[in-house]
Amino acid sequence: MDPSQINSSQFLEDEADIGSSIFTHYIAPEKIKELSRINNRAALLSVVETLTALTFSILLCLYLDHPVVTVIILVFIGTRQHAVFVLVHEATHFRLFSNRILNDAMGRLLGAIICISFQRYRNLHFKHHSHLYQKEDPDLPLQSGYPEGFLHLFKKLSRDLSGITFLKTYAYFWRISPNLPLDSSLSGSLLRRGRNQDLVLTTLVYITTGTLAFINELALFFILCWILPLLTIVPAILRLRAICEHGAVSNIISPLSSSRTNTGSKFLIWNLFPHNVNYHLEHHMYPSIPQYNLPKFHQILSKAQTMKGAEYRNIRTTLRLIFSNP
């Protein structure tokens, strides 16, 4: 069977069933099982690396009093806040730590740090995987319709960077309504309870941090160096990354071309696609594979020559494509 002819709704939906994907005709299940094995040390290193970069950049912002340097650091902080989001993404797939309790606890804590509901995001993201580019896909309004011209996307990103869209962005991660589909494995009441627990944790994190900042006369600094990037830089990166991953693809029906892997410039990849999230096609093929094994999986697929027609692009080519006129 040619995978390019398979509808994306046939994708792997059960994270635990790593041998049931349509791609087992091309990749041995034993190899997928090996690649899907969680390395707790690698996961912990990713968490420590990201939080260390955030801590260092915040301290740098505190002690370097120069407007240009401050702006650069604020942008960098936003990219690392987004890196925390990608780690939350790993946890939603049960790929951060092998212990499920630890995995979800870390996912919830990291989600609280960047002000998103871990439980709600997991629910939405599973729907995105199982209904990619279908009406049930909660990300459809964000990623579809491109390219629509440079001016259209520029205006969207400008609104994000100005802070105009932050309420809409974060409502996505918290709001529960009939218009937003529930994951089939989770009732509305359980979802609300999980979301409310996330809300309590997030509130505690921000009240504690805000109080400590106020006591130490750093309240304004906290708003400038943490809240501001979270409300401006992060929404812009989330939009741009989503469009780079799924916007202006060649075929929304085929699982090989409805998601895109972006390679190329290490600077752009590190800032826009931390923790190997640029290997997005591979991630949609097998969500069971943790992020640190995606580059290896990409190499295996390339050597096996099974990816004819796949959406593999240099990130610069992708950016030109999504900003181009229709």
User: From CA 277, how far away is CA 295, in angstroms rounded?
Assistant: 10
The pLDDT of residue 255 is: 84
- Residue 82 and residue 239 in contact, taking contact as beta carbons nearer than 8 Å: no
User: From CA 248, how far away is CA 306, in angstroms rounded?
Assistant: 22
- Residue 111 and residue 206 in contact, taking contact as beta carbons nearer than 8 Å: no
The pLDDT of residue 175 is: 84
- Residue 280 and residue 243 in contact, taking contact as beta carbons nearer than 8 Å: no
Q: How confident is the model at residue 25 (pLDDT cuts 50, 70, 90)?
A: low
Amino acid code (one letter) for 310 = A
Q: What are phi and psi of 134, to 5 degrees?
A: -105, 170
The pLDDT of residue 15 is: 44
Residue 268 has pLDDT above 60, yes or no: yes
Of all residues in the chain, the percent with pLDDT exceeding 90 is 75
Picking from 270, 267, 123, 144, the residue whose alpha carbon sits closest to that of residue 198 is 123
Task: Determine the angle formed by the axes of helices 67-92 and 228-246, rounding to 10 degrees.
Answer: 60
Residue 292 has pLDDT above 90, yes or no: yes
- Residue 56 and residue 63 in contact, taking contact as beta carbons nearer than 8 Å: no
Q: Residues 142-181: pLDDT tens digits?
A: 999 999 999 999 999 999 999 999 999 999 899 866 554 5
Q: Residues 71-96: pLDDT tens digits?
A: 999 999 999 999 999 999 999 999 99
Picking from 18, 45, 15, the residue whose alpha carbon sits closest to that of residue 34 is 18
Picking from 280, 302, 301, 300, the residue whose alpha carbon sits closest to that of residue 291 is 280
Picking from 266, 276, 275, 274, the residue whose alpha carbon sits closest to that of residue 314 is 266
Q: At a CB cut-off of 8 Å and minimum separation 6, what does 122 contact?
A: 92, 107, 183
Task: Determine the angle formed by the axes of helices 100-113 and 67-92, rounding to 10 degrees.
Answer: 150
Residue 242 has pLDDT above 80, yes or no: yes
Strand partners, 279: 261
Range of the domain at 133: 3-322
Region class of 289: left (phi > 0), else alpha (psi between -120 and 50), else beta: beta
Q: How many domains does the chain have?
A: 1
Q: How many helices (H) and strands (E) does the chain have?
A: 15, 2
User: From CA 270, how far away is CA 272, in angstroms rounded?
Assistant: 6
The answer to whether the peptide bond before residue 274 is cis (omega within 30 degrees of 0) is no
Strand partners, 263: 314
